[in-house]
Structure 1
Amino acid sequence: MWTFSLRLLTQNRLISRNLLRRNDSIVGWFNSQPCSARGKQDNTGDESFKVSRLFEPAAPKGSSDSELGVELTGRINKSDILKVLNKFSQKADNKSLCLEYGLDDYIQQKAFASFRQYCFQTKSIPAELYIKLYDIVNGAGHPDDLFPYLLNHAREIFPHLSCMNDLKKISDLTNPSTWYPQARSKIRKIIFHAGPTNSGKTYNAMQRFLQADSGIYCGPLKLLAMEVFQKSNEKGTPCDLVTGEEKRRSKEDGSEANHVAITIEMAPVDRRYDVAIIDEIQMLRDPGRGWAWTRAFLGLNADEIHVCGEAGTRELLERLCLTTGEIVEYNHYDRLTPLTIEDKPIESFEKLQPGDCIVCFNKTDIYTVSHEIESLGSEVAVIYGSLPPNTKLAQVAKFNDPNNPCKIMVATDAIGMGLNLSIRRIIFYSMVKLQQNENGEKGISSISVSQALQIAGRAGRFGTQWEHGYVTTFKRTDLPKLKYLLSEKPEPITQAGLHPTADQIELYAYHLPNSSLSNLLEIFTSLSTVNDDLYFICNTEDFKELANMIHHIPLSLRIRYVYCCAPVNIKQQFVCAMFTKFANQHSKYEAITYDFVAQNCALPVRLPQSIADLVQLENIFDVMDIYLWLSYRFADIYPHRDRIRAAQTQLDDLIQQAVAQITKLIKEANDNSEPSQSAKVVVTLDDYSKAAQSESGDRERFSEYLVRKGVLTSTMMKQLQNEFLGTSKPTDSRNFEIDSRHKPSSKRSKRRK
């Protein structure tokens, strides 16, 4: 018996030694890092600690030889196991040793807790661990002998401990130019066409595009790609159109043309072209989409790359070309028509003139301003971002037509690019907007120099009836700010966006099989290595939110990744609900038919009777866009592309009709004393304070702010004023203006006090 026990003890020591050797690989990555990466007692500023918290422990696997340990030794009292584990976990030397092996405080806490629970389950632990516990309980071993088993357990529940080097290599984004071997196999000719809006820079690049044997145009918007598609075919150069939701062939036989106009996310890096155009190159810095411009600039396989955009991008492009061994040829263009900043704001809608465009930065302002202008007897064209492309074009055609009575436009900054407008004067209704930064944080802030120049430059387009452009503001307090912004040069662009690819995330999933897609992306971003002098990681909050929406649906990682790339407006609950239903149907491998969409979207729809109805039609249009986008990736799951497109065309017509009578819809909403739940707007004093602080000069009155935000209508505000003054006769809202000169009588004031 003594010989047998001695043999077991020797065997256990060998096992422990092998376990330690096997776990030495854990130390490799951590030893190559600064000491701070291996853990600190003060975790507040420790990046390693922050990264560790992204990893959730997996469930340990049971052992098939657990009964063997019991047969060889005998039963162990669980209270004795608890005493041994407490001694082991409380010893400071063991904690220090954990740090040396890369287990920071967070990993230690989770690993010790899991190991304790694991050891209590004596029927599932390996025989070697059971024998080791038996020996320690019976005085033939020391609690410190459990350390190699703890390390082995930690590596099992935290797989990243044994593959950190691999994860760091996968997320190494320091030199993305090497990702495109076909582009790097040649020295491309880079021509940068720089200049302000309406300077002819894109026109000059397009001449080379039309002359080439093959070419590709990459634009930020479907409208721009469609314009190039139409003009190229009109001039005798067969050109295809490719966007996320649509593919059109120019040749009658359906074969591919040598020229193609695409939205930039669709840019192919594996096909060769003679000439490529990348439009609006300053979008490299966009927090959400900048990666698409970086990918196109570094990866397009073309002999000539013509880049169009702001001059502030020049230095960044030159530095990017240092990594590819290429040289930038710089062509600067001046504005073709004069642009004058007026010395006075308009301050009243009655001062509007033909060719004026009022620029607002939210939908509520669009509705309010449109209603006020049309109540004065002027017809209005309306453009905002969520309108379908054809509806936007119809509004543009109405506004540009000299014979059409519509001479005023109300629009968001969606007019900044992609639309050919005949505008005489741009009027900024406000100088602040809700914006998102690189970290995904949203807040109200002043528009940038680049945004101000882009929007103001839409006035006075070359070759139209208004070749002299003017720009001003609606409010007097905004005019000095506008003059300042337009006197400055665009902010220099110093970084280009990057985004992890599906292949990189799949490699991460191989090493971390228990992590969700959202968690994988967060870990990737945290571990990624980026050359901060050139690049930044694009914001992935929308992507992660979509990933969380469908986390519970059983889809493969690749399919799940594709779904999260779909054009989903996460602000709209109905759109998100339909997106989730699509993914759920896909997981069952059931075809998503036209009838499925019609049933869930209540098709056919009728002409909207209110703003809420119009918003719902826009949401349904977005759902159909998602269907079409997915149909090009999963044709067998989304088989009714043509029927959905036909229904979307009919829906577009209804939206056009509704926008044409938008004032009537607003009036209907104003006439309802109790707004619908979907149309309610909640505004707090904190919101007003933030908005007021963001503007220079005199603070906007709270009553004006409520009307501008759509919480109160002019009619409601006037009625409140009449009640406040003790009058009962309501006044026409067209003659209403908030005036500090209206004060109650002194008698009523004293009684009120």
Structure 2
Amino acid sequence: TVEEFARFRHQPLDVVVIDEVQMMADSQRGWAWVDALVSAYTQDLIMTGPELIQPSLKTLCELCEDELVIKRTKRLSPVEVARRSTSLKQLDEGSMLVAFSRKTVLELKAMLEMTGKSVSVVYGALSPEVRREQARRFREGEADIMVATDAVGMGLNLPAHTLCFYTDEKYDGIQNRQLKVQEVKQIGGRAGRFGHHDSGTITALDAQTLQSIKRLFHSADLPVDLSQFQVRPSIEHLQAIAELMGEPSLLRAWLTFNRNINYGDEFISVLPDELAEWIKLIDDPSIDLPLRWIFACTPIRGGLDSPASIFAQQWLKKVAQDKVVDLPRLIIDADLATLEGSLHIIETYLHLARTLPGHFPALEQAEQHRSLLNEAITRELSRRKKPRGSDRRRLSGEARHCQQCGKAMPVLSRQFRLCQSCFRDQR
């Protein structure tokens, strides 16, 4: 991930390539892209992304007194939005179905397998290795259909001739909202890859969603001209504040920095909400501040109540006592959720083994465990789940509409009276 680039900050490099540069505008992770862009120690920095981020890149390069050369490319195969919606039964080989949660992806996989099709899946909880293997199965024809979250929009070569949206809404961690123009274009652009298909088609599972997707896909991009670029303090900054104020809390030192340090009009120090919550869990004043900082900067996949989070908190206490952390016992005879949780634990260990090798010495063994878990997850994803009776009814049932707003209900929600948005509004 781009956060890992911090390890190369002071290392001379011939060329640095930063993909998806529009993510510098992301509220949670934008700081990492900005940090990589301004700290890359290279003569040639190549950035790829959509046209809409150009104004912000131009401003940032001017601030850094760097020359910016713009090179535009054109899409080589056309893509169009279908006139009519489709159905799960009508999706043919080489199609990709995009939903917006792990649960929905796996449920759609099971329903498609009921129709006799083989399915690959991609979602955020999977490791890059498993995602690439799932992509290979689809690309080489071992899987008829790919079902994925919007994680498929970045970093994978997937030659689908048809891209089908399950819905036009996603939960963004705060609210259930309609997809943005750029999100629809980023995902829809996966249809019809040059060299594989003469053209691509975008469709949806119901007429109402299709009309919404069509409107968004044909809407003009809104340029992203950031008023301020996100940055964050270094441990040296926070240590200085902690010593000056006699403040033992990492979180309060960071908040003090944000309130009092003025970067000027161009930059702003940020503390993402999820990171603030993670720091609260590890902010023990009896533990050295630099050690708390290392763990605060450690990626924790699966959320704050995940197995990786629980293990990391235990490991922090061990390291604070100058103890060596043993690699957790490997369990590969388990269900998919358990395997994913185990993989996230190993990935956390690997990150810390590169940062604190004296306390996390089992780097090679952890890499072996990661490979075994990736293989186990791939096997589990290849298994066909026994369909439930409700799945059969939803697959064969007529389309239903929300009794409150009248919107067409996604196939997995047809046993309910209300759509997800109306249900959330009533709670």
Deviations 1:699-723 (A, max 9, x none): 64999366699x9xxxxxxxxxxxx
- Where structure 1 has 5 or more consecutive residues not aligned to the other structure, the ranges are 1-218, 221-262, 437-441, 671-690, 712-753
- 1:563 and 1:467, CA in 2 relative to 1: closer, same or farther beyond 3 A? farther
- 1:703 and 1:478, CA in 2 relative to 1: closer, same or farther beyond 3 A? closer
- 2:48 paired with 1:315: no
Q: Report the AA paired with residue 460 of structure 1.
A: G
**Matching residue of 2:132:** 393
- 1:572 and 1:660, CA in 2 relative to 1: closer, same or farther beyond 3 A? farther
SS for the counterpart of 2:70 is: strand
Q: Which has the higher contact order (CA 8 A, sep 6+)?
A: 2
Q: Report the AA paired with residue 233 of structure 2.
A: P
After the TM superposition, which residues 122-137 of structure 1 pair with which residues of structure 2 at under 5 Å, given as runs?
none
- 2:153 paired with 1:413: no
Match of 2:238 among 493, 505, 510: 505
After the TM superposition, which residues 134-173 of structure 1 pair with which residues of structure 2 at under 5 Å, given as runs?
none
SS for the counterpart of 1:367 is: helix
More helix as a share of residues: 1
- 2:200 paired with 1:469: yes
**Matching residue of 2:395:** none
- 1:618 and 1:701, CA in 2 relative to 1: closer, same or farther beyond 3 A? closer
TM-score, normalising length: structure 1: 0.51
- 1:499 and 1:662, CA in 2 relative to 1: closer, same or farther beyond 3 A? farther
**Matching residue of 1:425:** 162
Q: Tell me if structure 1 keeps the 8 A contact 2:278–2:304.
A: no
1:692, distance to aligned residue in structure 2 (A): 9.4
**Matching residue of 2:5:** 265
After the TM superposition, which residues 445-464 of structure 1 pair with which residues of structure 2 at under 5 Å, given as runs?
445-464=177-196
**Matching residue of 1:575:** 308
Query: 2: CA distance between counterparts of 1:644 and 1:267?
Result: 20
SS for the counterpart of 1:357 is: strand
SS for the counterpart of 1:418 is: coil
After the TM superposition, which residues 708-747 of structure 1 pair with which residues of structure 2 at under 5 Å, given as runs?
none
Query: 1: CA distance between counterparts of 2:138 and 2:279?
Result: 41
**Matching residue of 1:520:** 253
Q: Report the AA paired with residue 351 of structure 1.
A: Q
- 2:311 paired with 1:605: no
Match of 1:278 among 9, 18, 23: 18
**Matching residue of 2:276:** 544
Q: Tell me if structure 1 keeps the 8 A contact 2:121–2:134.
A: yes
- 1:535 and 1:342, CA in 2 relative to 1: closer, same or farther beyond 3 A? farther
- 2:347 paired with 1:638: no
**Matching residue of 1:588:** 321
Aligned sequence identity (%): 23
- 1:539 and 1:509, CA in 2 relative to 1: closer, same or farther beyond 3 A? closer
Query: 1: CA distance between counterparts of 2:132 and 2:47?
Result: 26
1:647, distance to aligned residue in structure 2 (A): 1.6
SS for the counterpart of 1:277 is: strand
State the structure with more CA Rg.
1
SS for the counterpart of 1:328 is: coil
- 1:552 and 1:275, CA in 2 relative to 1: closer, same or farther beyond 3 A? closer
TM-score, normalising length: structure 2: 0.88
1:290, distance to aligned residue in structure 2 (A): 1.2
**Matching residue of 1:374:** 113
**Matching residue of 1:350:** 89
**Matching residue of 1:483:** 214
SS for the counterpart of 1:398 is: helix
**Matching residue of 2:424:** none
Q: Tell me if structure 1 keeps the 8 A contact 2:241–2:247.
A: no
Q: Tell me if structure 2 keeps the 8 A contact 1:614–1:655.
A: yes
Q: Tell me if structure 2 keeps the 8 A contact 1:349–1:373.
A: yes
SS for the counterpart of 2:325 is: coil
Query: 1: CA distance between counterparts of 2:221 and 2:403?
Result: 26
Q: Report the AA paired with residue 485 of structure 1.
A: L
Q: Report the AA paired with residue 335 of structure 1.
A: R
After the TM superposition, which residues 167-206 of structure 1 pair with which residues of structure 2 at under 5 Å, given as runs?
none
Query: 1: CA distance between counterparts of 2:247 and 2:381?
Result: 49
Give the length in aligned residue pairs.
407
- 1:708 and 1:504, CA in 2 relative to 1: closer, same or farther beyond 3 A? farther
- 2:360 paired with 1:627: no
1:327, distance to aligned residue in structure 2 (A): 3.1
SS for the counterpart of 2:259 is: helix
